[in-house]
């Protein structure tokens, strides 16, 4: 016996084997649910259990109950009419009647305006003194070059710049202008659409956004574009377009091949800039985003400059006067509520916007952006609504029954005072009564 085992007792241990039962774990994907089918192979619909919390619409016959009928509005609000905009309409509320081919319906709306209009049965707007100012400048621009009509709406956040820009778009649309409206210019630089590098132009093309712009421009201005023709023979990668072709045929090339949409859009803007039959309005909201740093990156993960992207570069060339429209105007609006894309220093100096913080003499300025911001004319939008404008807007919201039934005189004065007359804050104050 070895000395290692001397004096040790062996101990027998009995082990019992038990099979492991798999336990259900969270996040495990189950197989597809069983689908019951009838003799014809169609899926059978499951019957809803009684007492379940599912809301069904009332039948049409039961909607005649007086309790369910909305009260008849006592305030008659006129529709927005470009022919009737005058000094007598200042301070009055009008309703937009968006038709099937309206620019606001096809191009879209700014996000904050869209959320506001969803609360109302109809989109309302107030005619202000700045509206007459913008309309007067557009009337002068309809017979002159856009070199003299490059305007930017400026003002405090919530002052109503987007609303005034939409009024100008609707005005020009009703006056038979060619309207190209970009309500969310930030989408041109926030890397929300694909892009490709073009060796020919040494820029980054945005074919999808150009394709959508062509499609919406054709839908809004189809009758006008069909009467305009090209002035020269145009060549594209896969086909060519002869002289005197309709501009609708030109757009059709970009709609058939999305890869050629940026070149087609550039040719379309060149043709629209030469014709003198119809004035053209190029309207852009979130204009300051085109002068900020973009979210696009090159293969070396370096930030792409905005003027190296095809869509921002096209707009900035018309805004700076490098390219022009024979008849028409460029009207833009800045947005101060987006902290990711503030108004840059180059654009702030060109538009004479006061600085929010003290500036240092060592602040760098991009010479390219200074060149693209040259010649822009600011149109300041008042920060406050007048009492007549606020009262007219209050009456429209009251007729929509979006406010709690309280004493309206005190409510109007309190919300107007709390918001300091700021249009957006005034509307937010009215909506806040629903949560109290």
Cβ-Cβ contacts under 8 Å for 313 (sequence gap 6 or more): 203, 306, 307
pLDDT higher than 90, residue 189: yes
327, 140 Cβ separation under 8 angstroms: no
Cβ-Cβ contacts under 8 Å for 436 (sequence gap 6 or more): 404
- Summarize pLDDT for 40-57 with one digit per residue, the tens: 667 776 665 554 445 566
pLDDT at 8: 46
Q: Residue 429 — left, alpha, or beta (φ > 0 → left; ψ -120 to 50 → alpha)? A: alpha
Distance CA 47, CA 90 (A): 58
Cβ-Cβ contacts under 8 Å for 74 (sequence gap 6 or more): 399
- Residue 77 domain flag: no
Distance CA 28, CA 417 (A): 56
3-state secondary structure of 37: strand
Q: Which two three-digit tokens encode residue 395?
A: 């009456």
**Strand ranges (DSSP E) for 21-165?**
78-79, 93-95, 124-126, 150-154
pLDDT higher than 70, residue 5: no
Cα angle 299, 208, 212 (rounded to 5 degrees) comes to 155
148 beta partners: none
pLDDT higher than 80, residue 255: yes
pLDDT at 355: 81
- Residue 53 domain flag: no
- Residue 85 domain flag: no
Q: Residue 267 — left, alpha, or beta (φ > 0 → left; ψ -120 to 50 → alpha)? A: alpha
- Residue 7 domain flag: no
Distance CA 250, CA 239 (A): 11
- Summarize pLDDT for 289-339 with one digit per residue, the tens: 999 999 999 999 999 999 999 999 999 999 999 999 999 999 999 998 888
Task: Match 């509005």 to its residue by tokens.
Answer: 73
Give the burial class of 269: count Cβ atoms within 10 A of its Cβ; 0-12 exposed, 13-18 middle, 19 or more buried: buried
pLDDT higher than 80, residue 70: no
- Summarize pLDDT for 206-222 with one digit per residue, the tens: 999 999 999 999 999 99
> What's the structural domain count of the chain?
1
Q: What are the backbone dihedrals phi and psi of residue 163, each rounded to the nearest 5 degrees, phi first?
A: -65, -40
Residue 277 domain boundaries: 131-355+363-380
Residue 423 neighbours by CB distance under 10 Å: 23
Q: What is the mean pLDDT of the chain?
A: 86
Q: What percent of the chain has pLDDT over 70?
A: 83
- Residue 302 domain flag: yes
258, 208 Cβ separation under 8 angstroms: yes
pLDDT higher than 50, residue 15: no
Q: How far is the CA of 165 from the CAs of 49, 140, 194, 196, 280, in angstroms?
A: 52, 17, 28, 31, 15
Tell me the whole-structure pTM to 2 decimals: 0.82
- Summarize pLDDT for 71-116 with one digit per residue, the tens: 565 567 889 999 989 999 999 999 998 888 999 999 999 998 998 8
- Residue 415 domain flag: no
Q: What are the backbone dihedrals phi and psi of residue 345, each rounded to the nearest 5 degrees, phi first?
A: -65, -40
209, 188 Cβ separation under 8 angstroms: yes
- Residue 28 domain flag: no
- Residue 156 domain flag: yes
Distance CA 21, CA 213 (A): 60
pLDDT at 16: 52
């Amino acid at each position: 016996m070895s000395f290692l085992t001397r004096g040790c007792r062996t101990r027998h241990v009995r082990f019992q084997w038990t099979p492991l039962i798999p336990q259900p774990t969270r996040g495990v994907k189950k197989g597809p649910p069983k689908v019951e089918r009838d003799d014809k192979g169609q899926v059978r619909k499951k019957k809803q259990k009684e007492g379940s919390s599912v809301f069904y619409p009332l039948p049409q016959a039961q909607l005649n109950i007086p309790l369910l009928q909305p009260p008849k509005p006592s305030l008659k609000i006129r529709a927005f009419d470009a022919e009737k905009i005058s000094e007598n309409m200042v301070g009055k509320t009008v309703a937009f009647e968006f038709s099937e081919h309206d620019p606001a319906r096809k191009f879209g709306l700014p996000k904050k305006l869209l959320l506001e209009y969803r609360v109302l049965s109809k989109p309302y707007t107030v005619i202000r003194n700045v509206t007459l100012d913008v309309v007067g400048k557009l009337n002068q621009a309809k017979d002159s070059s856009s070199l003299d009509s490059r305007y930017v709406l400026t003002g405090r956040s919530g002052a109503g710049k987007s609303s005034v820009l939409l009024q100008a778009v609707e005005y020009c649309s009703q006056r038979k202008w060619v309207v190209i409206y970009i309500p969310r210019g930030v989408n041109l630089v926030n890397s929300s659409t694909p892009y490709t590098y073009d060796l020919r132009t040494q820029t980054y093309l945005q074919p999808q956004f150009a394709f959508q712009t062509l499609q919406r421009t054709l839908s809004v201005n189809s009758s006008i574009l069909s009467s305009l023709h090209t002035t020269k023979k145009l060549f594209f990668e896969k086909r060519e377009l002869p002289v005197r072709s309709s501009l609708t045929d030109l757009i059709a090339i970009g709609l058939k091949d999305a890869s050629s949409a940026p070149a087609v859009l550039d040719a379309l803007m060149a043709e629209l800039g030469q014709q003198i039959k119809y004035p053209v309005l190029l309207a852009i909201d979130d204009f300051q985003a085109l002068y900020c740093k973009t979210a696009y990156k090159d293969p070396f993960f370096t930030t792409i400059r905005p003027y190296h992207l095809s869509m921002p570069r096209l707009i900035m060339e018309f805004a700076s006067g490098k390219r022009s429209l024979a008849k028409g105007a460029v009207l833009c609006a800045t947005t101060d509520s987006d902290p990711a894309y503030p108004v840059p220093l180059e654009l702030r100096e060109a538009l004479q916007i006061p600085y929010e913080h003290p500036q240092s003499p060592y602040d760098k300025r991009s010479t390219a952006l200074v060149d693209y911001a040259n010649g822009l004319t600011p149109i300041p939008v008042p920060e406050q609504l007048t009492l007549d404008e606020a009262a007219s807007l209050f009456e429209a919201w009251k007729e929509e029954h979006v406010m709690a039934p309280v004493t309206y005189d005190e409510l109007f004065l309190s919300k107007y005072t709390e918001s300091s007359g700021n249009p957006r804050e005034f509307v937010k104050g009215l909506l806040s009564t629903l949560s109290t």
